[in-house]
Structure 1
Amino acid sequence: MKLILAAVGRLGSTPENTLTRDYLQRASNTGRALGLGPAELLEIETKKTNKAPTKSQEAEAILAALGEGVALVTCDERGELLTSRQIATRIDKFKDRGERKMAFVIGGADGLDPELVKASAFSLAFGPQTWPHALVRLMLAEQMYRATTILAGSPYHRD
């Protein structure tokens, strides 16, 4: 099952982007034997206009970029607070159900369209704090990597 970190906007050459891509490569390497991967970053641009895109326009761009047959996981402040092991278990369940793609979605500056959140398999929160998008990408990529290591049976310090 392909793992996708889908995010509205582009980061360019930043330390956070470099680390995000590094963790996704690690997840690809670890997950390969498990049928997980590749893990990739999909940066979604909305059409350039004089006005900022609406949440609905961003949702349309996200769905168009991901295509059909993808299990959506949205990042939303009202989402579930899951442990790393719980995230790994959820990924494993989707893989066992035969899903071809699983996308973890990060919206734009104003968050995600409520209809997209409703349509997702589940929503994930990173706590009550406000985090810069670059750090959310990095933390999510790290959790995707951690999930593959947990599922691969690597020692996990929380056990």
Structure 2
Amino acid sequence: MRLTLCAVGKLGATVENTLVKDYLNRATLTGRGLGISPVDLLEVEAKKGAKAATSALLKAQEMEAIKSTLSDGGILITCDEHGEPLTSRQIATRLNTYKDRGERRVTFLIGGADGLDPALLKASAFSLAFGPQTWPHALVRVMLAEQMYRATTILAGLPYHRD
């Protein structure tokens, strides 16, 4: 099964991007023995020059860009402030269920500054929340990448995660 972190926007050469790539690489290495590999990053270009556009229009434009990037389907998990605040073990269990069902791809999706289009939220298997706080976009990527790595270590029985 392939795991993907898909995010609207590009981080460029930042410390956060270095961390994201490090955690995804670790997840790839750990996941190989589990049949979870590769774990990759897809960045969807945010719409430029659309300041005058409404939030709903921006979300719809970003949704179209996301759909064209994720044309091969699979399980979609959205990140949303109104989603479920799952534990690391619960995330690992859900990923293991998808793997055991024979799913080919699971994509975690982080929207743009205005969030995700309601149609994407509705189409997702579930939405994941990182608590009631508002987090900077770049940090959400790091936290999600770390959770993807943590899930692979839990499934592999490695001592990285402690309850």
Determine helix, strand or coil for the equivalent of 2:115: coil
Please report how far the alpha carbon of residue 138 of structure 1 lies from its aligned counterpart in structure 2 after TM superposition. Answer: 0.1
Alignment-mate amino acid for residue 10 of structure 2: R
Deviations 1:101-157 (A, max 9, x none): 110000000000111001000100000100001000000000000000000011231
- Residue 96 of structure 1 aligns with an amino acid whose one-letter code is D
Counterpart position of 2:80: 76
For the Cα contact (< 8 Å) 2:79–2:128, is it kept in 1? yes
Give yes or no for the alignment of 1:157 onto 2:162. yes
Contact 1:81–1:127 under 8 Å retained in 2: yes
Residue 42, structure 1, aligned to residue 25, structure 2: no
- The DSSP-based 3-state class of the residue aligned with 2:12 is coil
Q: After the TM superposition, which parts of structure 1 deviate over 6 Å for at least 4 consecutive aligned residues?
A: none
Q: Secondary structure at the match of 1:5?
A: strand
Q: Counterpart of 1:99?
A: 103
Q: Per-residue displacement from partner, 1:12-55 (whole Å, max 9, x unpaired)? A: 00000000000000000000010101111100014544445610
Alignment match, 1:28? 28
> Alpha-carbon deviations, 1:56-106, whole Å to 9, x = none?
111111111011222100000000000000000011111111111110000
One-letter amino acid of the structure 2 residue matched with residue 62 of structure 1: I
Counterparts of 2:49 and 2:104 in 1: how far apart (Å)? 34
Structure 2 residue identity aligned to 1:157: R
Answer yes or no: is the 8 Å Cα contact 2:47–2:58 preserved in 1: no
Secondary structure of 1:77 counterpart: strand
Q: Could you state the TM-score of these two structures normalised by the residue count of structure 1?
A: 0.95
1:2 is matched with: 2
Identical-pair percentage? 69
Aligned residue among 115, 121, 144 for 1:111:
115
Separation (CA, whole Å) in 2 of partners of 1:46 and 1:23: 23
* Pairs aligned (count): 158
- Measured in 2, the distance between the counterparts of 1:77 and 1:102 equals 20
Paired residues of 1:69 and 1:99 also in contact (CA < 8 A):
no
> What is the aligned-residue RMSD (CA, Å)?
1.2
Q: Which runs of 5+ in 1 are unaligned?
A: none
Q: Which runs of 5+ in 2 are unaligned?
A: none
